[in-house]
Structure formats: structure tokens, C-alpha cells
């Protein structure tokens, strides 16, 4: 588990989003091959967002991964979407990753009864560290849907949260919903302590809209108003960015 003692984040900057994804996905593939070398299973926690597309495409195309021994989880899901809605994060992952790695077991969040589902998914995750977490940053620095002020010591592994206006507007700006009123106001999310209970964390954060969040993650004091700063409490984080997201 992470501590509040600060750890250095490895930052890898590439000129383009595609090059960033190639580097991040190649790194992820090696982590997964190493985790599977002992003959057991490996668990992977996934973010579902266009920022992850290039990374996931590279990972899916990588050779030497026995996907039959991989369990895939996702870190958040809206509450209240219509069945089969294209905005579902599980649906996005099905279409953009899971279908390309046949054999992997994908464990979906199904938030029909949100509180009960949070408890079920937390039990399903268990307490063993993930071999790999692939995540991004929200424009407000959120990790999964842990908006500011985020709880860095949440005793629960999964909970129901109310989404802040910045997170909801981001979904409109990225083209997932037509208006702010269309965006659900609540979600089931994996909490920050459970996300960071992992051997390796790879963050893929491209785009000018994320530049401020990257700067805050790297420079602001570690604390709840900048959720991304929690990454600086984990010893195994690599942050991949493109030129547009690079604040340096």
C-alpha cells in the first residue's frame, strides 16, 4: 500500500499522442509478461477514456502475453445510464480493448443497485495488489472518479460518489454527451487507496486540456485538492505525456 512519503514519478514525454501510447503500451506489456512469468494469474485495472486508446492498442497487439491468465477490472462506471448506452465505460473497454485480447476475463461494474454493486465489486477485487494499473488524469486531476477533495485514506475499496461539475463538463467537452444535463451525477468508483495498491502504475495523459492537471500532479503539495498528487506516494509510477500535455 502507498504511504504519504513522497516518491519520485518517472515522466516520459513524447512528441505525439501515438508515440506516447506506443511507449506506455510497450511498458505495460513488459510489466504483464513479467507478472505472468511465475505461472499464476495477473490482475489489471483499466481506465476507460480516449486518452488511453493508443496505450491500450499497443498493449493488445503485444506478443507473448497469455491473456487466458489475466483478469481485467475497470475503475469506474456511471449510475443511471440506459442499458447498452455507448457512454458506459465497460462498453467502451469492450469495444476498444477486451475484444482484442480474447481469453482475458473482464469483470464489469453493473451499477443497477449502486451501493450493493460497490460492495460486490470491492469483494471481487479482493485485497491483493494489482499487477498493473493503467490510468489517466481528469482535467481536475481526478483519478478514476475521485474528484477533489479526494480521500487518500479511504477505508473502502469501491464507493458511490457524486460527480463534480468539472468532471461532468469534461465528458461533454470530449463529445461523450450532448449537454451537461445529459451527464449522470453519480458513479461507482474504485477509491485511490485501492487503485494504488498495485505493483506498477502507468499513467497515459495526452492533450492540452490535461496540461494543468499534469503540472499540479507534479508540483502541488500532496493533498486532496489535487488528487493526481497521490501518484507521488507510490514507488512504481510512470507518467507518459505528449507535447501538448507537457507543462515543462
Nearest to 9 by CA among 203, 223, 221, 139: 203
**For position 248, what pLDDT does the model report?**
86
Handedness of CA 189, 200, 220, 16 (dihedral sign): negative
**For position 84, what pLDDT does the model report?**
80
Question: DSSP for 97-145?
Answer: TGGGSTT-EEE---TTSHHHHHHHHHHHH-SSPBSEEEE---TT--BTT
DSSP state of 153: T
**For position 50, what pLDDT does the model report?**
93
Q: Domain 10-245 classified CATH 3.40.50.1360?
A: yes
Q: Which long-range contacts (C-beta less than 8 Å, at least 24 apart) are formed by 66-70?
A: 66/36, 66/103, 67/101, 67/102, 67/103, 67/104, 68/103, 68/104, 69/36, 69/40, 69/41, 69/42, 70/32, 70/36, 70/41, 70/42, 70/43, 70/44, 70/101, 70/103, 70/104, 70/105
**For position 77, what pLDDT does the model report?**
97
Whole-number Å distance between alpha carbons of 238 and 69: 24
**For position 82, what pLDDT does the model report?**
85
Nearest to 25 by CA among 190, 198, 203: 203
Q: Is 43 helix (H, G, I), strand (E, B) or coil?
A: strand
Neighbours of 137 (CB within 10 A): 27
Whole-number Å distance between alpha carbons of 60 and 54: 10
Tens-digit pLDDT string for the chain (248 aa)? 334 579 899 999 999 999 999 999 999 999 999 999 989 999 999 999 999 999 999 999 999 999 999 999 999 999 999 888 999 999 999 999 999 999 999 999 999 899 999 999 999 999 999 999 999 999 999 999 999 999 999 999 999 999 999 999 999 999 989 999 999 999 999 999 999 999 999 999 999 999 999 999 999 999 999 999 999 999 999 999 999 999 98
Identify whether the C-beta of residue 231 lies closer than 8 Å to the C-beta of residue 201: yes
**For position 4, what pLDDT does the model report?**
57
Q: Which helix (H) or strand (E) holds 70?
A: strand 70-74
Amino acid at each position: 500500500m502507498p504511504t504519504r512519503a513522497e516518491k519520485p514519478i518517472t515522466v516520459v514525454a513524447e512528441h505525439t499522442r501515438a508515440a506516447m501510447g506506443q511507449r506506455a503500451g510497450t511498458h505495460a506489456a513488459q510489466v504483464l509478461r513479467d507478472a505472468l512469468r511465475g505461472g499464476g494469474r495477473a490482475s489489471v485495472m483499466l481506465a476507460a477514456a480516449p486518452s488511453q486508446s493508443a496505450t491500450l492498442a499497443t498493449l493488445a497487439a503485444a506478443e507473448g502475453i497469455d491473456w487466458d491468465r489475466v483478469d481485467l477490472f475497470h475503475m469506474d462506471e456511471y449510475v443511471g445510464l440506459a442499458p447498452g448506452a455507448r457512454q458506459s465505460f465497460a462498453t467502451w473497454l469492450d469495444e476498444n480493448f477486451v475484444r482484442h485480447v480474447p481469453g482475458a476475463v473482464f469483470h464489469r461494474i453493473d451499477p443497477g443497485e449502486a451501493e450493493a454493486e460497490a460492495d460486490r465489486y470491492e469483494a471481487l477485487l479482493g485485497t491483493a495488489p494489482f499487477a498493473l494499473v493503467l490510468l489517466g488524469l481528469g482535467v481536475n486531476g481526478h483519478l478514476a472518479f475521485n474528484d477533489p477533495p479526494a480521500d487518500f485514506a479511504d477505508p473502502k475499496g469501491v464507493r458511490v460518489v457524486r460527480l463534480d461539475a468539472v468532471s461532468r463538463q469534461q465528458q461533454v467537452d470530449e463529445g461523450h454527451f450532448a449537454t451537461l444535463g445529459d451527464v449522470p451525477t453519480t458513479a461507482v468508483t474504485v477509491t485511490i487507496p485501492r487503485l494504488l495498491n498495485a505493483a506498477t502504475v502507468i499513467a497515459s495523459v495526452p492533450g492540452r486540456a490535461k496540461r494543468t492537471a499534469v503540472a499540479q500532479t507534479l508540483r502541488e503539495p500532496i493533498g486532496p485538492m489535487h488528487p493526481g498528487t497521490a501518484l507521488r506516494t507510490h514507488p512504481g509510477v510512470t507518467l507518459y505525456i505528449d507535447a501538448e500535455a507537457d507543462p515543462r
